[in-house]
Amino acid sequence: MALQPAAGARDLNPLEVEQNRILCGQLARVYRLWGYQEVAPPHFEHLDTLDAGGGIDGRELVRLAADEPLGLRPELTASIARAASTRLASRPRPLRLWAEGPTFRSQLGDGGQQRISEELQSGVELLGDATPAADVELLRLLLAASAAVGIGPQHQPRLLVGHHGLLGALLDQVPPELRQRVRAALTGFDALALAELPLAESQRLRLTGLMRLRGEPLQVLYQLEQWLGPVPLLSDLAASLELVSPAASRLGISLHLDPTFQPHFALYDGLVVRLVCQGPNSPVPVASGGRYNGLVGRFCSDPAQAAGVGFGFAVAALREVLGGQGPGAERAAGPTLVAFARATLLGRALDELEALHRSGQPAELLGTAVESQNVAEAIAAERGCSRALWLAA
């Protein structure tokens, strides 16, 4: 019999479970305040839903042994977009939804064996609104949710913002046969791969500069305008970020525009975002998302409703970053330990236990008799209880 969890899996202790519950509760309260309603997409779906039109590498999907091609969801967005376009199609747009739950991904370990990882996610989806206002709402909601769970300046938070259209416009200046390789080099921050491509020297220098171009939005937008000219996308992006920047500044979150940033999953065709905080040892991405109009269009028969934008928090990453600080680490006082001196007092101990419960106080029973208050208190301390109630005569 196996005594260890499967590769990629892990057991959560009671404190981690409690922290997850509190963090998800904090996030849910913010989502509801902004008008989002909870949905619960299924854990498994058809593979042609899960791969999000090729946006998710099939090697990352956990396939199920079934009579039809099914798999476990690697993220929540595709399932919610499908449900919004089918069962929820008659609801008025925009449709504001949120969900939380486990996601599953497959990868190869160092020895070539399959590893399945399970992660808890919490996030929102805003569907049916293709306007820049929806992008701004998404960014402001992400900031509000981050503040609610206790992320602050001490975590050195950075909100990375990119746009699929920006990268596309920059790649349009590259010979068509090289665009895919240039894209891979830029998004992978691979200067050596870029240096090996057969590009004109002036173009190579510009792309090398682009690889390093990230930071304060106005400065980045100015440089992009020198390269691309006054295209509407730049002015639209500037207007959106102008509505986000003051809120980010109030919360101590630095706003960075990164034209080459693309999330892990290739679901997105517009705005893309990632919130990164400083963890105990290195930067940790705690949330990511963006706009995915094309994905909604795969499920939606009405082109006017083919719009979606959303983000998701990685709850374990939040726990790692907060490290015992903030709302995610709050715990109620330990329970009272109800103990008794001899077996004939068991009934009275149970009555005391339930009386504490009726008053809203957590309490647990010590099922064997102990000889003194001191012994009861020592056992209570060992079990993490706040106090001992010892019943004698």
pLDDT digits (tens, 9 = 90+) for 322-337: 986 655 444 557 899 9
Q: Are 302 and 384 part of one and the same domain?
A: no
258 and 294: one domain? yes
CB atoms closer than 10 angstroms to residue 78: 27
Distances (CA, A) of 380 to 336, 338, 351, 388: 8, 9, 19, 6
Q: Looking at the domain assignment, is residue 143 inside a domain? A: yes
pLDDT digits (tens, 9 = 90+) for 95-128: 999 999 999 999 876 666 778 899 999 999 999 9
H helices of the chain, in order, are 14-33, 47-50, 77-85, 132-148, 164-171, 179-187, 191-195, 201-211, 217-228, 232-250, 293-299, 315-322, 346-358, 373-383
- More confidently predicted of 348 and 206: 348
In angstroms, rounded to a whole number, what is the distance separating the alpha carbons of residues 316 and 279? 12
User: Which tokens sit at 22?
Assistant: 């509190």
Whether 215 and 270 share a structural domain: yes
Model confidence band, residue 300 (pLDDT cutoffs 50, 70, 90): confident
Q: Are residues 376 and 270 in the same domain?
A: no
Give the residue numbers spanning the domain of 281.
Answer: 14-329
198-246: pLDDT as tens digits: 888 888 888 888 888 889 999 999 999 988 888 899 999 999 999 999 9
Average pLDDT, the chain: 91
Looking at residue 304, what is its pLDDT?
Answer: 84
Per-residue pLDDT of 50-100, as tens digits, reads 888 778 888 889 999 989 999 999 999 999 999 999 999 999 999 999 999
Domain presence at residue 367 = yes
Say what the pTM is. Answer: 0.87
Q: For residues 52 and 74, give the distance between their C-alpha atoms in angstroms, rounded to a whole number.
A: 10
Q: Do 196 and 316 share a domain, yes or no?
A: yes
| Domain co-membership, 157 together with 228 | yes
User: For residues 53-71, b (16+ Cβ closer than 10 Å) or e, as one string?
Assistant: bebbeeebbbeeeeeeebb
pLDDT of residue 328: 42
How far, CA to CA in Å, does 384 sit from each of 109, 350, 374? 38, 20, 15
How wide is the angle at C-alpha 169 spanned by C-alphas 167 and 170, nearest 5°?
65
Residue 184 has pLDDT above 60, yes or no: yes
Total number of domains constituting the chain: 2
- pLDDT the model gives residue 379: 96
Same domain as 318, residue 362: no
**pLDDT score of 191:** 84
| Residues 342, 323 share a domain | no
**Domain boundary residue among 285, 308, 329?**
329
Residues 68 and 211 in one domain: yes
Q: What's the confidence (pLDDT) of residue 194?
A: 85
CATH number at residue 44: 3.30.930.10
Q: Are residues 239 and 95 in the same domain?
A: yes
Q: d(Cα 84, Cα 65) in Å, to the nearest integer?
A: 27
Side chain identity at residue 51, one-letter code: D
Of the residues 308, 329, 350, the one at which a domain ends: 329
H or E segment and range at residue 371: none
Indicate if 303 and 380 belong to the same structural domain: no
